[in-house]
Structure 1
Amino acid sequence: MTNLEIRNEVDTVMFAGHDTTATCTMWFLYCLAKYPEYQIKIQEEVDALLEGKNSDNIQWSNLSELPMLSLCLKETMRLYPPVPFIERELMEETVIDGHVIPPGTTIGVSILLLHRNPAVWKDQNEFKPERFTYGKTKGRDTFSYVPFSAGPRNCIGQNFAVNEVKVLISRMMRKYTVELVPSRPEPIRFPLTTLQSENGMWLRFKSRT
């Protein structure tokens, strides 16, 4: 590999494997601080899982035993997708709403807006993790929710990323309660390569012990 090829691979791993996960974790903590009723449910779930164990380590086999955490993570990524938009180059002529788009055209897709499409999502701006329970996802268009893109060029590390966030959040919830800081303003979404906050993210952690 050339030096440029090596650098490109490292850039991909750093961005896709760390920056996006950190961004997702930030917005997840914000949602739990803003909706404490769900934070309590996750804390109870994690406490029940680790009760009587000598360690607070979350094992790979434990991740499927945290259903509420999984629902809240999906809803966080719906409202605050770590990567807010993607681009694709058309390989063939495509017709959208009667408009013919030639091959070679670069198409931008706003995941941020797609996830808040009122034609698909009822109360689209509300944090409602229950919308991802099995009975409510059945029949929903597969491409209405694509936090990791979709198709043959979707994120190859999505399962690892999801599990990484689950472990991070569950260990935090085991030890801390997170709250909004009343004197600070609500974060303003700022879509760059990842979804940032224009005015920072102000959260307060309190020990549960």
Structure 2
Amino acid sequence: MSAAIAPKDMVFYSLLKPWLGDGLLLSAGDKWSSHRRMLTPAFHFNILKPYVKIFNYSTNVMHAKWKRLVSEGSTHLDMFEHISLMTLDSLQKCVFSFDSNCQEKPSEYIAAILELSALVAKRHQQILHMDFLYYLTPDGQRFRRACRLVHNFTDAVIQERRRTLPVQGVDDFLMTKAKSKTLDFIDVLLLSKDEDGKQLSDKDIRAEADTFMFEGHDTTASGLSWVLFNLAKHPEYQERCRQEVQELLRDREPQEIEWDDLAKLPFLTMCIKESLRLHPPVTVISRCCTQDIVLSDGRVIPKGVTCLISIFGTHHNPSVWPDPEVYNPLRFDPENIKERSPLAFIPFSAGPRNCIGQAFAMSEMKVVLALTLLRFRVLPHEEEPRRKPELILRAEGGLWLRVEPLSARPQ
């Protein structure tokens, strides 16, 4: 259905409003339509290309930390903990051109984002939705404090960027930056104009930047953690991915993934997709019907009903996915997807409100997974993790895996 007929149900999403404002995730109607059109160029491949360097760099920092930990005797690592910091590190560079070194030393801003995500998940489970009561609790006060810190950081970057604009004029300044290939998300938002030439306000830019930081770190960290888990359990697929990457980077120095490489890793891509099917980072989405909706079999969803669409359930439907609990990347072989409905696989949702950042997320996942398998063997932990759906699909008590560094070059 169109976004106007089946808008997002705000019961849950309203908990994010004080933090994320009217960004793409939470806005509706004309404002959402206008912003979606204005933001689409921010995810064009010409903007995404330079980000691949950032993905490589942040992954290298994470791997250096892993090697140090292994040398000190820590071979069991919580993937969620390490990969979340790495994706936040990447995002801060892609969104703000800011390097907090958050993987190596504490960052107030990064700690605030992690705290906000945890507090929203906790509040949702407690069903304490009345704001005035929530803000009287210790959690509510922590939420307010973290919100203030995140907003102050984003506002400061926007104001600093605005201060440098009038000297040359907005368009000249941004076009100069575009030519030097250093356009970040804030630059693109400052450059954005609607059909009438109207620009985004500072408040709108803050909402979109904060939304991207929130949506971009947790979901990608979940996707990467679970694909490493699935490959740890299936060493034959892990080895096939590793050989694909080694073949691609043979005799290349330095060994890093480039933009053009992303299309040359077909089996690794199939492994990521099958993991997103089995363990979708977002397990459910909700829509509220503003009018009666007639289904193809004649049944009617009445106006006013809130529908929960289970992405997890769709991905585990045995009539579409035989043996749905089995991890089998060959389901995504080009020959096998021909007869399958495009709506059978919806890790990034579908329709007009699908994830605008899915190309960004897939690019980052491919870079991180390729480099990780090139340098490490990933092995299962003794205990099988229990899936824990929160804001994103986590594992109870963390997702622990064993990592073994590989020699720099295959012998």
TM bracket, shorter-chain basis: over 0.9
Amino acid at match of 1:117: N
Give the secondary structure class of the aligned counterpart of 2:304. Answer: coil
Q: Which moved more, 1:134-143 or 1:159-168?
A: 134-143
**CA distance, structure 1, for counterparts of residue 237 and residue 258 of structure 2:** 22
Deviations for 1:17-50, whole angstroms, at most 9, x for unmatched residues? 1111111111011011011110000110111111
Shift of the alpha carbon at 1:15?
2.2
Question: By how many angstroms is 1:181 displaced?
Answer: 2.0
> Where does 1:181-200 land on structure 2 (aligned, <5 Å)?
181-182=381-382, 185-200=383-398
Q: Gaps (5+ residues) in structure 1?
A: none
Alignment of 1:47-58 (within 5 A): 47-58=246-257
Q: Which amino acid aligns with 1:126?
A: V
Radius of gyration: which is bigger?
A: 2
Number of corresponding residues: 206
**1:15 corresponds to which residue?**
214
Q: Does 1:205 align with 2:205?
A: no
Matching of residue 82 in structure 1 with residue 281 in structure 2: yes
CA distance in 2, matches of 1:114, 1:11: 30
In 2, the alpha carbon distance for the partners of 1:103 and 1:153 equals 20
For residues 253 and 210 of structure 2, what CA distance do their matches in structure 1 show?
38
TM-score (normalised: structure 1): 0.93
Letter in 1 for 2:293: T
Q: Give the one of 334, 339, 350 matched to 1:139.
A: 339
Superposition deviation, residue 98 in structure 1: 5.5
Partner SS state of residue 317, structure 2: coil
After superposition, what is the alpha-carbon deviation per residue over 1:70-113, rounded to whole angstroms, capped at 9, x for unaligned?
A: 00000000000011111112233113565432223221111011
Question: Which residue pairs with 1:92 in the alignment?
Answer: 291
Q: TM-score, normalised by structure 2?
A: 0.48
In 1, the alpha carbon distance for the partners of 2:261 and 2:354 equals 26
Query: What pairs up with 1:1-209 in 2 under 5 angstroms?
Result: 1=201, 5=204, 8-96=207-295, 99-182=299-382, 185-209=383-407
The separation in 1 between residues aligned to 2:396 and 2:205, in whole angstroms, is 32
**The structure with more strand, counted as a fraction of residues:** 1
C-alpha distance in 1 between matches for 2:207 and 2:306: 21
TM-aligned CA distance change 1:33 to 1:14, over 3 Å: same
> Partner of 2:161 in structure 1?
none
Q: Using the alignment, how far apart are the partners of 1:104 and 1:12 within structure 2?
A: 27
| Residue identity in the other structure for 1:105 | V
C-alpha deviation, 1:156, in angstroms: 0.7
Cα offset, 1:2, TM superposition: 6.7
More helix as a share of residues:
2
Superposed CA offset, 1:161-193 (max 9, x none): 0010000010111110010122xx211111111
Give 1:7 shift: 5.2
CA distance in 2, matches of 1:62, 1:159: 14
Amino acid at match of 2:338: K
Q: Deviations over 1:103-143 (max 9, x none)?
A: 23221111011100001011111001001111111121111
CA RMSD of aligned residues (A): 1.6
Query: Which consecutive residues of structure 2, in runs of 5 or more, have no partner in the other structure?
Result: 1-200
Distance 1:39 1:2 in 2: 45
What secondary structure is seen at the aligned counterpart in 1 of 2:377? Answer: strand
Measure, in 2, the Cα distance between the counterparts of 1:76 and 1:195. 12
Partners of 1:104 and 1:15 in 2: CA distance: 29
- Displacement of 1:151: 0.4
Q: Secondary structure at the match of 2:399?
A: coil
How far, CA to CA, are the matches of 2:251 and 2:284 in structure 1? 44
How many angstroms apart in 1 are the aligned matches of 2:241 and 2:300? 48
Look up the SS of the partner of 1:178 in the other structure: strand
